[in-house]
A = this chain, B = another copy of it.
C-alpha cells in the first residue's frame, strides 16, 4: 500500500496532524493554503483530502471547504462502542492465533511499559500503548480486522488524546493490560476478549467523562 506520491505523503502528514491534535476537529482545510504549505499544487492536496474524507478523518461537502471531522456525542459514543467490540475480537482471536514469538514480544512490551509507568512518562506510555494494541491486532492474524480496527482507532485518536493525564490512569491502564496479556498468553480466548472489552469500555467512559467536564 505504500505510495511514493506527493498526494500520499500529504495524506499521511495531514492525518498525523489531525491525530496528534495539531489540527483540531472543526478546523477548515483550505486547499490553496495547504498547497502552499506543502509546496505543491492543489491537485495532490485535493486527492489527499479525498482520501482523508474516505477514511473519516475529514468531512467534505461539495463546493465547500473540507473540515476536520467533528463527530457529535452520539456518534462518538457509537464509535467507542464499536471500538470495544473490535478490540475484544482482536484479543480473543489473538489468544488463539498468536505464535509463541508474538506472545513473547507482547509480554516483553508489557514488562517494558511497567518501567514507563514507574517514571510517569505519559508521552512515552501513549506511544507504547499504541504499539501494544497494534500487536494484539496483528496477533489476530486477520488482515481485514487489523485494517478496520486500526482505522477506527485512528479516527478516535483525536478524542482520546488527554486520557493518560488523568490521575492514576497510567497505572490502572497497565494493570488492565496485565489481565489481557495473561489471558492471551495462556490462550484463554473468552477471558482475553472480556478483559479487552472491559479495558476499552473504561477508556471510553474516561474519555467521554473528560469530554463533558
Contact = CB atoms under 8 A, between A and B. Distances in A.
A199 to B, nearest CB: 18
A207 B210 CA distance: 46
A3 B62 contact: yes
Contact of A3 (B3, B51, B61, B85): B61
Total identical chains: 2
A127 interface: no
For chain A, what secondary structure do more than half of its interface residues adopt (helix, strand, loop), or is it mixed? Answer: helix
A142 interface: yes
B148 A148 contact: yes
A211 to B, nearest CB: 17
Size class of the contact patch on chain A: 20 to 34
Nearest to A79: B144
A5 interface: yes
A3 B60 CA distance: 9
